[in-house]
């Protein structure tokens, strides 16, 4: 049987099975027609959030998914890493959040088919203060992305290395969070603070927020330390760690200076293969 259902002013036709309850029906509808919003978050700096945002987004797009990458970091590394000239932008995430500019005006295409980006700008540094007096200041990004959910299969949000208001906005807007963990000494430092923030957001702002997975990055299996970190993270967060680990690969660090994801910079590289495996693992999980 088919039913007609309205979400945010758009009507959908959805198949339902006899006896299906309301919650199951809403979940089915959501899975079929709404994109998934995933934040890349860890307040520890330099752990691979942006590298993962760019290359996971590019891999998902190459696998035929329509993807929007939202750059929520004033450093704007995800924007420049995708070849956007960040000095000449009329609209960025800043204008959308602060001046109420429609997100459609800020969305830019990239050289990868199916991959779009809402770029960032250094001005975003001041946004946290400007947002302080806004009503529902934790929900600004959620409100902004809600009408875009039906246009994309995945919306990835690249967060800055902080647990400030913009990151809280990102987590409030998201269905899930990927936590990159660098395979180095002190890898788990600060993770409990991040997990506590996620717990508070789940309790107060976004009960549906899930941990999509911990992602081991810059892994070098020749190093004893990397293997120890790998084992420790797997033991600590059993069942929550992606099977795919991202190995240390120089091509991944070179690609952003050419404004390209590794998939177009060097498709044969180990980094390209790792992020393609991660994209496939993520799709399989849904």
- Interacting partner of 218 out of ligand ATP, Mg ion, none (Cβ under 5 to 8 A depending on kind): ligand ATP
Beta bridge partners of residue 38, listed in sequence order: 156, 176
Residue 124 backbone phi and psi in degrees, to 5: -60, -20
CA distance 14 to 188: 43
Residue number with CB closer to Mg ion (159 or 173): 159
CB of 286 to ligand ATP, least distance (A): 24
E strands, the chain, where? 2-7, 10-15, 36-40, 67-72, 108-109, 115-118, 154-159, 176-182, 210-217
Residues 9-48 that bind ligand ATP (CB under 6 A): 45-48
Residue number with CB closer to ligand ATP (173 or 246): 246
- Interacting partner of 262 out of ligand ATP, Mg ion, none (Cβ under 5 to 8 A depending on kind): none
Residue number with CB closer to Mg ion (48 or 103): 48
Residue number with CB closer to Mg ion (43 or 142): 43
Query: Considering the rule CB under 5 A, would residue 44 count as an interface residue with Mg ion?
Result: no
Do the bridges between strand 2-7 and strand 67-72 make them parallel or antiparallel, or are there none, so unpaired?
unpaired
Residues 46-65 that bind ligand ATP (CB under 6 A): 46-51
**3-state SS, residue 218:** coil
Interface stretch with ligand ATP, choices 6-14, 15-23, 244-252, 276-284 (CB under 6 A)? 244-252
Query: Considering the rule CB under 5 A, would residue 49 count as an interface residue with Mg ion?
Result: yes
CB of 74 to ligand ATP, least distance (A): 10
Query: Considering the rule CB under 6 A, would residue 110 count as an interface residue with ligand ATP?
Result: no
CB of 251 to ligand ATP, least distance (A): 8
Residue number with CB closer to ligand ATP (61 or 252): 252
Q: Which of 39, 80, 120, 249 binds ligand ATP (CB under 6 A)?
A: 249
Beta bridge partners of residue 10, listed in sequence order: 7
Do the bridges between strand 2-7 and strand 10-15 make them parallel or antiparallel, or are there none, so unpaired?
antiparallel
Number of residues that bind Mg ion (CB under 5 A): 3
Number of residues that bind ligand ATP (CB under 6 A): 19
Q: Which of 113, 253, 267, 285 binds ligand ATP (CB under 6 A)?
A: 253
CA distance 121 to 108: 14
CA distance 261 to 273: 12
CB of 157 to Mg ion, least distance (A): 11
Q: Which helix (H) or strand (E) holds 58?
A: helix 49-62
Q: Can you spell out the DSSP letters for 95-113?
A: HHHHS---HHHH-EE-SST
Listed residue (49, 7, 51) closest to 151, CA to CA: 7
Q: Which helix (H) or strand (E) holds 200?
A: helix 191-204
Query: Considering the rule CB under 6 A, would residue 190 count as an interface residue with ligand ATP?
Result: no
**3-state SS, residue 179:** strand
Residue number with CB closer to ligand ATP (121 or 248): 248
Residue number with CB closer to Mg ion (44 or 49): 49
Q: What is the dihedral angle through the alpha carbons of 193, 198, 200, 202, rounded to the nearest 10 degrees?
A: -170
Q: Which residues bind ligand ATP (CB under 6 A)?
A: 45-51, 73, 75, 77, 160-161, 217-218, 246, 248-249, 252-253
């Amino acid at each position: 049987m088919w039913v007609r259902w309205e979400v945010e002013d758009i009507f959908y036709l959805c198949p339902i099975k006899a006896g299906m309850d309301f919650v199951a029906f809403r979940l089915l509808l959501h899975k079929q027609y709404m994109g998934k919003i995933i934040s890349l978050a860890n307040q520890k700096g330099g752990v691979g959030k942006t590298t993962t945002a760019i290359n996971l987004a590019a891999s998902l797009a190459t696998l035929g998914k329509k993807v929007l990458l939202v750059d929520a970091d004033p450093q704007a590394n995800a924007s420049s890493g995708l070849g956007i000239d960040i000095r000449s932008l009329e609209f960025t995430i800043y204008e959308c959040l602060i001046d109420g500019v429609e997100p459609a005006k800020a969305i830019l295409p990239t050289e990868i088919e199916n991959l779009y980006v809402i770029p960032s700008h250094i001005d975003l540094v001041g946004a946290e203060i400007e947002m302080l007096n806004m009503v529902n200041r934790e929900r600004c990004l959620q409100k902004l992305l809600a009408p875009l959910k039906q246009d994309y299969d995945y919306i990835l949000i690249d967060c800055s290395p902080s647990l400030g208001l913009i990151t809280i906005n990102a987590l409030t807007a998201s269905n899930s969070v990927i936590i990159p963990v660098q395979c180095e000494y002190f890898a788990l430092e600060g993770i409990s603070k991040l997990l506590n923030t996620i717990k508070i957001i789940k309790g107060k702002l976004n009960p549906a927020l899930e941990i999509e997975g911990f992602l081991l990055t810059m892994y070098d299996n020749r190093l004893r330390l990397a293997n120890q970190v790998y084992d420790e993270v797997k033991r600590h967060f059993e069942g929550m760690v992606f099977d795919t680990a991202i190995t240390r690969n120089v091509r991944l660090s070179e690609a952003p200076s050419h404004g390209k994801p590794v998939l177009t910079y060097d498709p044969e590289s180990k980094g390209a293969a790792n992020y393609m495996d991660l994209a496939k693992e993520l799709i399989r999980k849904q």
